[in-house]
Every structure is written in structure tokens, then in C-alpha cells.
Structure 1
Amino acid sequence: MSWSKLKQQLESFLSPALSGRVEYRSTSYRYLPDKAGLCYIAVDKKNVFNMSDASTSIRWYQTEQEIKNDPQLQIPISKEELDAVRADTKGLVPEERLKVIARGRKIGELAKELLSAQTALSKSNFVAVANKFLSLSIEESIESKDILLNILALIDRRVGKKRIQNMSGKIKLKHPVVQYFYELRLSTM
């Protein structure tokens, strides 16, 4: 599918409140046929979704330690996770320390997931993922570990106000760029 046709289809699924604010852009290299063009998402004429751009306000993690030490990252801990740590330590650890251990475990898992998602994204082809989005259901796109699928689903008109508001817990565990588009969509409601 040509870029113009794909762009037209993606824009037809944009939420009405974001129409005109969110744009899909592409650059191509006319004289380098083996070099793929870059595709990115702009919000209010500012490139937001472009990993290689150093001027972007979205944080792209380089190491697992950066994720673990990020003070803005909020990790909700469930009662089941606390109970699992309590069972592993056989009840010998104070209650405050259980929360620290559970958070440490969860943030370690999250760091690995975020880095692998970022790595997959940097190697992926925007056009291929966008075509996949057009053939998947919204639920599959939202639940996917693919950052780009999450973004495309969040700004889709088929995702309603109630569903967006109910996603706040899940979004905290996603990449900062997904959180950015969630906040953008939430601000238009």
C-alpha cells in the first residue's frame, strides 16, 4: 500500500478531537532506494514520535538502570504481588520492606519489557506496523506490547471516553511515549 493511501486510512481513524492536531509524516530518500524513509508522528506540528530526534520531550531509555532510577516512573503494586513476596520470604521481612522488594521485582521485569519493546520498535517498519494495526482489533492493539500499536489505538476514534479513563492503571506500566499519547487523548475529553 502506498504511503499516501496508508496515511489517509490512519487519519480516517483519528479521534475527531485530535484531527488536525495529530499528523503522520514521512520522509523518503529519492536517490537511495535501499534506504528506508523515516515515518513519525507529529502533534501540533512538533515531532513527538521519533526515537532518533534528540530534541523530543519523550524519554527513550538506553539502559535498564535508567528505567530503574527514573523518579517519574510510578509502579503500582497489587496485593497479590505483596503476598507472593511474603510467601517467598516466609514472613520474615517487615511489611514496609515487602513493598520495596515487590516494587524492585516488578520494575526489573518492566525494565526488560520496555527495553525489548524499544529495541523492536527501532528495528520495525512504521508502514508494516500501521498495516498490522489496520487489520487488528482495537483490543489487540491496546493489549499489545508493541509501542506503536498502543499509540495508534489510543488516538483511534473507536476507543471511547470510558475505556480511556479505565486504562489509567495499565498505562502507568507503558513506555513514556505511550503515556504521552494517553495524556493527550485524555486532555481532549
Structure 2
Amino acid sequence: MQWNKLKKQLDSRVSHSLKRRVVFHSTSYRGTHDQVGKAWITFDNEMIQDFCTINRENKRITLATGIHNQYEFYYAVEEYLGLSINEALASTNPIIRALSILDRRLGKRRLISIRDDHPIVNKLLIIRILVEYLEP
């Protein structure tokens, strides 16, 4: 699926408190032989997560540190869009779990009960909790 369609569907799932504050971006560098690129998420115009295309030899290191590449992000988004909120939260893929934290289908009571050790999920969980409970 094209990025524009994915982005539109992702934006429609973002909670009301994060609308226009969380933005999904993507770019590809077409001049390279393997069309590398990156995707990233911003919150209030500050990058909070970068999904840069990386060397596949470093995959073991990246899984442990929370670094993922652009293609892993795209695959996760496509899968996430077909899942219920319960399935997304229970996913083994940390990108899908992170996207589910931003989902408007996730209520406040359930939000505060979530515990996750993955860096991406924790970043987005903290942002969502702060926004939900500090805004009037």
C-alpha cells in the first residue's frame, strides 16, 4: 500500500488528544541502489522515534535496543491497521504495540494499566499518559 494511504489511516486512529501533535513521516532516497530511506514519528515537531534503514547484520543489536528500520515500520503499520485494539496490544511486534498506545480505541483506564519494557512503547506510553492527564 502507498505511504499516503497508510498515513491517512494511521492519522485517523490517533487519539483526539494527540491529533495534530503526533505526526508520521516517511522519505525514500531514490538515488541509492537499494532505495534506502527512513520513517519517523514526531510529537510537537520533535522527533521521538526514527526508523532508519540500517544494515541487516546488526539485527540482533537493534531488536534489543529498540532500533528498527523503515521496512519493519511499514510492515508493522500494515499489520496494525488490520488488528483490533486487543490484538494490537498483545502483539509480539513492539512497533504494533507502540502504535496501539496512540490509538483512540484505547481508553484512559486501560492506558494507565499498561506495562511494557520496550523503549519505543515506553516513550509513546509516557507521552500519551502525560497528554491525557495534564490537558484540561
Alignment RMSD (CA, Å): 2.5
What TM-score do you get using the length of structure 1 for normalisation? Answer: 0.59
Identity over aligned residues, as a percent?
33
**Structure 2 segments unaligned to the other structure (5+ residues):** 53-60
Matches within 5 A, 1:100-111: none
Task: Compare the two structures and name the one with the higher strand fraction.
Answer: 2
**Structure 1 segments unaligned to the other structure (5+ residues):** 53-61, 64-113
1:166 pairs with one of 102, 110, 113: 113
Deviation per residue, 1:90-143 (Å, 9 max, x gap): xxxxxxxxxxxxxxxxxxxxxxxx62x847x34852211100000112112112
**For 1:126 and 1:138, how far apart are their aligned partners in 2?**
18
Are residues 152 and 22 of structure 1, via their aligned partners in 2, closer, same or farther at CA, if it must alter by over 3 Å?
same
Matches within 5 A, 1:114-133: 115=64, 118=66, 121-122=68-69, 124-133=71-80
1:185 maps to 128
Are residues 123 and 20 of structure 1, via their aligned partners in 2, closer, same or farther at CA, if it must alter by over 3 Å?
closer
**For 1:133 and 1:163, how far apart are their aligned partners in 2?**
19
Please give the secondary structure, in 1, of the residue aligned with 2:9.
helix
Please give the secondary structure, in 1, of the residue aligned with 2:92.
coil
Aligned residues: 125
What TM-score do you get using the length of structure 2 for normalisation? Answer: 0.79
How far apart are 1:46 and its partner, in Å?
Answer: 1.1
How far apart are 1:31 and its partner, in Å?
Answer: 2.3
Structure 1 consecutive aligned stretches of length 4 or more whose deviation exceeds 2 Å: 30-34, 121-125
**For 2:74 and 2:26, how far apart are their aligned partners in 1?**
10
